[in-house]
Structure 1
Amino acid sequence: MTPHLSRRRFLQLTGGTALGATVLTACGSGSGAAGNQIDFWYAFGTTDIQSYYQQYFIDDYNKTTPAAKVQMSVKQVDTLDRLTQTAIASGNGPDIISTSSPAQALNYVGNGNLLPLDPYIDELGWQQAFLPWALDVGRVGGKLYSLPASYETMAVFYNPRTFSAHGWKPPTSRAEFESICADAAAKGIVPIGAGSAEWKAASEWHVTWVWNTFAGPQALYEALTGKRRWTDPVFVDAIAMLKGWFDKGWFGGSTDRYFTNKFTDMYQKLATGGAAMMVSGSWTFTEIGPYFGADAGNDATWDWAPLPSTNSGVPAGVYPLSVGNAYSINKDGKNPAAAAAFLDFLVTDPSRQLNALAAVGQEPTPIKLAESDFPATTDPRMKQQYLLLNATKNYGYTTWTFWPAKSDTYIYQQMDKVLVGQVTPKDYCAGLDSLFQEELKAGKIPPVPAPMGA
């Protein structure tokens, strides 16, 4: 997705609220033919984000009297990747190639479309600007081909008043998590607000967090790099655990209801005490607000907590990393140095990144941040998550960022069959392993940074 367009927000847009292909400035042809123009194609979730981006990223950059001005053409969210691929193949693509993930950028690397960015690492100070893992997600064959444009994670979201009323505390272990779920279910409260009616891939969120908290980042890294098989009991047992929770009706009230539940209903239940928790991604920050407080006609509040551990030996508080967008430079561009200068402006300034986070909820790039970098208007809950995410060594891996495309699709499509009893956890993992090994052999695995440990 774009840096301000999570998988959930992508759903909202393709459901009927997507912006049209409004062209802010004319799109040049031939990758900045005159060499004094940087062509940049992008997609936005809302008009306020588009306007903010135009003013504070594009216009502000052009005011710095650069060697080449940036011209941005806004495309529809659901067609940006396809339009870019077609244009690049014909030699008329943009100078800056925006992809939905490092995995998507991998396709351009294989076709020889991208310029290695390694000469700019030292020149522009990227090693010092980015978090230790951040450049690694754009490296293929030892060369840097893309920069991550945003990052997010997963967490437990809850209503503090509901927790206080029932004597619950944010869980840090499987036992604590299951205790809350059992108590909530006994009281007629939905333990985990969840549903996939509006986003069929939602099931992979739950696969992601249980694998990260049960198998752990080290085991996931080994499997993602071909050193461990997905048939390993640690992965099978995690899926069996998740299936058991669904069988108890803990997710969405029942497995059947899970497939028909809408996110609006789940947020409302969280606000009214009808649901105990939601396990979701950072995109929740920009979605949850309208259901809480005066605007929603209540005095409810919400908060978040790190993921609990669900297995001994895996520390609590793992943060699965999601890189939602990546920027690269077109190899056929006429002024790569100017394109690199624009990329540097786009992604490395903490003030610019965090002002956008506070103003319109634009997720920041994975650069090093200090508490003093955040504007006073930042939601303190959002600030807390990014400070912790910025500092953690206990990071993990989201399926939609670090699994190859076919394996990722398999994960959520086949998981739904596991939930309804059509496929066993063992067979599910065996099927994933077979498909993954094919993609591994074909070189389709996205770059995977090594874990740092808790």
Structure 2
Amino acid sequence: MPAPLSRRRFLQLTGTAALGATTLTACGSGSGASGNQINFWGAFASKDIEKYFQKQFIDGYNKTATGAKALDVRMTVKQIDTIDRLTQTAVASGRGPDLITTTGPAQTLSYVNNGNLLPLDEYVDKLGWRDSFLPWALDAARVDGKLYSLPANLETLSVYYNPATLDKHGWKPPTSRAEFEDLCKDAKDQGIVPIGAGNAEWKPATEWHVTWVWNTFAGPEALYEALTGKRRWTDPVFVEAIALLKSWFDKGWFGGSTDRYFTNKFTTVYEQLASGKAALYFNGSWTFSEIGPYFGKAAGNDATWDWAPLPSLNSGVPAEVQPLSIGTAYSVNKDCEHPAQTADWLTYVLADPRRQLDYLSSTGVAPAPVKMPEKDFPSDIDPRVKRQYLELSTAKNIGYTTWTFWPPKSDTYIYEQMEKVLTGKLSPKDYCADLDKLFQQELKAGARPPVPAPKGA
């Protein structure tokens, strides 16, 4: 994703994904398809990504597709802001694509509940998916024990910082609540914004902070219990986490003040981080694709950046929890005429770690959650990016991002109503109580996405 459009914001704005934002059209669907090819709709965030995808994943696959049953893939590029609606309309009319692309488990679930998808379990062993994908990733794609999608990208939340700023003031990336709060107090006293933050351009940015605080204060075990209906969101551990986050906003630690948080743009945050005016930035790994223009030669300065794992904010919560984000998933239409060939193409695109890591290195697009041995990383990949995905591929303490594992109405509630908490119009207790009522309704209705166990990596 080219800066300054973040991958996370792009996914939400378009309802599609940078990894092609793709759709395979069914033969005979009226799109010019014929029985001896698979037509493919693609929409891309940049021309460079489109060219890469065409060369590596379309032309490259077609050269390997041989035999009497082999089908070529033919790509037609569509507009990024309409392809999701086109897909939904086509599927609803019974003339939909062979491959349905969604923004992750929640959207996939809606297609499953409507009876639109084919189970993919027969390909798990036949095509080596069990050996290729991280176990939790396949678990997150199952509904009632059946596999209905393949996850197509993987991201997490981390702490970003300017090493020179921390060195100058004798700080280190915090690993505990005490270290975090001490750094923030010291930074505030010296006129430095402790946490670069703002949601002026993207209101759901507020859920990033709810996500990392819940994962590091309440912890993955408590979140898993709540997401699976074994614990309520009114539990004190969730309420206390929200109250703690509000107290930090009240101190002016996020964005300089609560008022500034609502007016700060992402450009402002990156510029503050590069200039030493902000100490830390809690954000997703989509940062890799947008931070570059603000540091080093591209920005006319000598600033550098790095990242660190999230600190543990509470006793009993493991260190370095990595909340998981699945921004894209691929499913096969139940009316697909060539499911085996479609699954074969999915294997080519997603299951090979070298192809995925080359894609990451060349375009910044997040790779699929496949096993990533160090030998498969390109020699020219940014070492900071490499370190992130090496750690993700072996993660033992996985957590949960709200936009991936919460039901859609509950997710929207989390970031919209949190603004009222930050401005004092809604108490943390009432915030969690109202969330619980909504979540229980969605859980009962079967609207909650699949949730892997917290130590399933």
Alignment match, 2:170: 167
Q: Aligned letter for 2:364?
A: G
Alignment match, 1:317: 320
Is 1:329 matched up with 2:332?
Answer: yes
Give the whole-Å Cα distance in 1 for the aligned partners of 2:22 and 2:389. Answer: 32
Alignment match, 2:226: 223
Q: Check conservation: 2:398, 2:456, Cα contact below 8 A.
A: yes
Alignment match, 2:416: 413
Flag the 1:403–1:11 CA change in 2: closer, same or farther, 3 A: closer
Within the candidate set 359, 365, 384, 1:381 is matched to: 384
Matches within 5 A, 1:93-242: 93-242=96-245
Alignment match, 1:265: 268
Give the whole-Å Cα distance in 1 for the aligned partners of 2:42 and 2:207. Answer: 26
Alignment match, 2:10: 9
Q: TM-score if structure 2 supplies the norm length?
A: 0.94
TM-superposed deviation, 1:10? 4.2
Q: Aligned letter for 2:353?
A: P
TM-superposed deviation, 1:40? 2.9
Q: Aligned letter for 1:213?
A: T
Within the candidate set 427, 432, 457, 1:429 is matched to: 432
Give the whole-Å Cα distance in 1 for the aligned partners of 2:133 and 2:11. Answer: 26
Say which SS state the counterpart of residue 423 (structure 1) adopts: coil
Give the whole-Å Cα distance in 2 for the aligned partners of 1:334 and 1:22. Answer: 18
Say which SS state the counterpart of residue 419 (structure 2) adopts: helix
Alignment match, 2:397: 394
Matches within 5 A, 1:259-298: 259-298=262-301
Say which SS state the counterpart of residue 389 (structure 1) adopts: helix
Moved more, 351-360 or 65-74: 65-74
Q: Aligned letter for 1:421?
A: G
Kindly, what percent of the aligned residue pairs are identical? 69
Encode CA deviations 1:299-338: one digit per residue, 9 max, x unaligned. 0000000000011110220000000000011110111111
TM-superposed deviation, 1:84? 0.8
Give the whole-Å Cα distance in 1 for the aligned partners of 2:73 and 2:192. Answer: 52
Flag the 1:11–1:334 CA change in 2: closer, same or farther, 3 A: closer
Encode CA deviations 1:352-372: one digit per residue, 9 max, x unaligned. 101111111111100101111
Alignment match, 1:92: 95
Flag the 1:22–1:384 CA change in 2: closer, same or farther, 3 A: closer
Q: Aligned letter for 2:218?
A: A
Q: Aligned letter for 2:420?
A: K
TM-superposed deviation, 1:11? 6.7
Alignment match, 1:247: 250
Alignment match, 2:370: 367
Alignment match, 2:49: 49
Flag the 1:237–1:387 CA change in 2: closer, same or farther, 3 A: same
TM-superposed deviation, 1:74? 2.9
Q: Check conservation: 1:212, 1:318, Cα contact below 8 A.
A: yes
Give the whole-Å Cα distance in 2 for the aligned partners of 1:301 and 1:226. Answer: 44
CA RMSD of aligned residues (A): 2.3
Give the whole-Å Cα distance in 2 for the aligned partners of 1:43 and 1:142. Answer: 32
Q: Check conservation: 2:154, 2:368, Cα contact below 8 A.
A: yes
Q: Aligned letter for 1:80?
A: I
Is there any run of 5+ residues in structure 1 with no aligned partner, and where?
none
Encode CA deviations 1:131-160: one digit per residue, 9 max, x unaligned. 110101110011000000001000000000
Q: Check conservation: 2:153, 2:367, Cα contact below 8 A.
A: yes
TM-superposed deviation, 1:32? 8.8
Q: Aligned letter for 2:126?
A: E
Give the whole-Å Cα distance in 2 for the aligned partners of 1:145 and 1:25. Answer: 18
Within the candidate set 342, 346, 359, 2:345 is matched to: 342
Within the candidate set 445, 449, 453, 1:450 is matched to: 453
Say which SS state the counterpart of residue 140 (structure 2) adopts: helix
Q: Check conservation: 2:217, 2:317, Cα contact below 8 A.
A: yes
Say which SS state the counterpart of residue 343 (structure 2) adopts: helix
Q: Check conservation: 1:317, 1:394, Cα contact below 8 A.
A: yes
Flag the 1:31–1:77 CA change in 2: closer, same or farther, 3 A: closer
Say which SS state the counterpart of residue 446 (structure 1) adopts: coil
Alignment match, 1:439: 442
Say which SS state the counterpart of residue 242 (structure 1) adopts: helix
Give the whole-Å Cα distance in 1 for the aligned partners of 2:60 and 2:428. Answer: 52
Is there any run of 5+ residues in structure 2 with no aligned partner, and where?
none
Give the whole-Å Cα distance in 2 for the aligned partners of 1:335 and 1:44. Answer: 25
Q: Aligned letter for 2:42?
A: Y
Give the whole-Å Cα distance in 1 for the aligned partners of 2:226 and 2:42. Answer: 34
Flag the 1:340–1:302 CA change in 2: closer, same or farther, 3 A: same
Encode CA deviations 1:29-73: one digit per residue, 9 max, x unaligned. 269964422233332211111111111111111111351111223
Encode CA deviations 1:189-228: one digit per residue, 9 max, x unaligned. 0000000001010000000000000000010000001010
Moved more, 36-45 or 205-214: 36-45
Q: Check conservation: 1:152, 1:323, Cα contact below 8 A.
A: yes
Flag the 1:137–1:298 CA change in 2: closer, same or farther, 3 A: same
Flag the 1:453–1:316 CA change in 2: closer, same or farther, 3 A: farther
Give the whole-Å Cα distance in 2 for the aligned partners of 1:453 and 1:288. Answer: 31
Q: TM-score if structure 1 supplies the norm length?
A: 0.94
Encode CA deviations 1:103-124: one digit per residue, 9 max, x unaligned. 1011111111111000001100
Moved more, 275-284 or 72-81: 72-81
Flag the 1:336–1:22 CA change in 2: closer, same or farther, 3 A: closer
